[in-house]
Structure 1
């Protein structure tokens, strides 16, 4: 047995701004998980709120990188992919899942493509089309509300009903993944709240975790949330408890950051709250949707 769980994290690396690998590595390391990064691109900053950033596409080096791991016979408890810098990288990640995936490990795909109803500047309709292929191979996907709408070809609206969101979850699960978690879902009954909702296809259960909406937008919170989900599940938590832990941690991150007068584009003050991940689990807010 490996002394610690091991995750292959296929994400970009941004030199400045707390997002992608600079968030994923400290969170999972704090949760006792070894992170083995597969960089998809190297950027001087992340793309949320910065202009004229340097972007180095690592597509041409990824295959040699992962082939070396295959020759070494490396094994992983989880394969976790996020931001992809080109359509070709989807094929590379797909092959990685074929080579390293098995019945005993977990494949998590965070289909990073956009937010607030819009695609990111490096994304395209071709990326959406090919991302649909990739999520077929996932055990769990964690799109935000915007990304879920793009994957399904649905209208992005802020007054969506709970019954309609359950249908979205079901349709996404029908595309392949066993569990679907959608973040940043607006609450049609209470504008002061936002929701994380999920569907466990194997157990035919829908889950929801709500939190108060804080009027701030910090890039990288999606990466942080999914990383807590991954770490929590690898620690043996159930899906609703993992969701609860993820929402509590992100809420703590935002609350710890909101009172300071620094640019939101720098991301949450992760360093101030990392140790929260080692606190006893406080199950407080998840509920089952009938």
Structure 2
């Protein structure tokens, strides 16, 4: 039986303070008319971006028990959406979850959280990157940033990369399994204050690009926000370029709405101020068709 409201298994950590992971995934999906069903990988007092001496409770040992209960009551998911995974075992759990809960027309989005600015996060090593390369084979959509795309492909991190080479990267990533590849935080060598987001649909062999104006601030959680809007948008029936455009516009709005305040960046964007915009009509699109 079709769910009256699309239902998503959201496999992320939960921070008690700070707008990242499930703290942003849940309100965004709910606002977009999607039921988020949380499978928490860990609980933290705060997220790790800028906070020290935070408390951390690893829920790896509890994840399977939650999954087993979901199996017992026969939950059907229209989408599976995974984000930060803290161990090899958690990657294995997500892979098995995808197989166990597979159903027709299901959306699988994997955000392969591995690193940024050319460096892996402190919890990531070569074995975790290798396992993530295997996990993305099970996805319909992946949303790596430029650094993570280079890790998945085993390519050097080179901000001066050409657009033609980036086109090749998107297709190589799609060849691994995911039919839709979205690469965020792509540097634009000719523009100091611009970055791009690229999206490739393998079935249509079509590539889109949206440019983003640079704002001199870094807010944790914007990647989670971006991927969550992509999930909600695709479940609403939007095309890939429209989903891409909505996600870029929403993240940009959230950053701009936050930047004018004397506000600690480590707390994340002021999501609550911009959430209602997700219910507005689709605005004029700014995506470019590259091929």
Fold match (TM-score > 0.5): yes
Match of residue 58 from structure 2: 57
1:70 and 1:58 map into 2 onto residues whose CA distance is 19
2:201 and 2:190 map into 1 onto residues whose CA distance is 24
Match of residue 240 from structure 1: 241
Match of residue 276 from structure 1: 277
How far is the alpha carbon of 1:189 from its aligned partner?
Answer: 2.2
Q: TM-score, normalised by structure 1?
A: 0.98
Q: Which runs of 5+ in 1 are unaligned?
A: none
List structure 1 segments (4+ residues) > 4 angstroms apart after TM superposition: none
Alignment deviations for residues 182-238 of structure 1 (CA, whole Å, 9 cap, x no partner): 001011222221110011111100111112111111010000000000000000100
Q: What SS is found at the alignment partner of 1:257?
A: helix
2:36 and 2:56 map into 1 onto residues whose CA distance is 23
Match of residue 105 from structure 1: 106
How far is the alpha carbon of 1:174 from its aligned partner?
Answer: 1.0
Please tell me the root mean square deviation across aligned C-alpha atoms, in Å. Answer: 0.9
Contact 1:7 1:35 in 2 (8 A): yes
2:136 and 2:46 map into 1 onto residues whose CA distance is 27
Counting matched residue pairs gives 290
**After the TM superposition, which of the residue ranges 47-56 and 31-40 deviates more from structure 2?**
47-56
Q: What SS is found at the alignment partner of 1:246?
A: helix
Alignment of 1:10-159 (within 5 A): 10-159=11-160
How far is the alpha carbon of 1:284 from its aligned partner?
Answer: 2.3
**After the TM superposition, which of the residue ranges 22-31 and 45-54 deviates more from structure 2?**
45-54
**After the TM superposition, which of the residue ranges 36-45 and 49-58 deviates more from structure 2?**
49-58
How far is the alpha carbon of 1:102 from its aligned partner?
Answer: 2.2
2:250 and 2:181 map into 1 onto residues whose CA distance is 20
Q: What SS is found at the alignment partner of 1:194?
A: strand
1:91 and 1:129 map into 2 onto residues whose CA distance is 12
2:172 and 2:279 map into 1 onto residues whose CA distance is 35
1:286 and 1:178 map into 2 onto residues whose CA distance is 19
Contact 1:79 1:101 in 2 (8 A): no
Match of residue 185 from structure 2: 184
1:283 and 1:225 map into 2 onto residues whose CA distance is 19
Alignment deviations for residues 15-65 of structure 1 (CA, whole Å, 9 cap, x no partner): 111000000000010001100000011111111112222121111111111
1:75 and 1:108 map into 2 onto residues whose CA distance is 16
Match of residue 210 from structure 1: 211
Contact 2:242 2:285 in 1 (8 A): no
2:284 and 2:141 map into 1 onto residues whose CA distance is 21
Q: What SS is found at the alignment partner of 1:136?
A: helix
1:173 and 1:236 map into 2 onto residues whose CA distance is 21
2:52 and 2:122 map into 1 onto residues whose CA distance is 11
2:262 and 2:153 map into 1 onto residues whose CA distance is 38
How far is the alpha carbon of 1:262 from its aligned partner?
Answer: 1.4
2:227 and 2:146 map into 1 onto residues whose CA distance is 14
**After the TM superposition, which of the residue ranges 155-164 and 272-281 deviates more from structure 2?**
155-164
How far is the alpha carbon of 1:176 from its aligned partner?
Answer: 1.0
Alignment deviations for residues 121-148 of structure 1 (CA, whole Å, 9 cap, x no partner): 2221111010011100000000011111
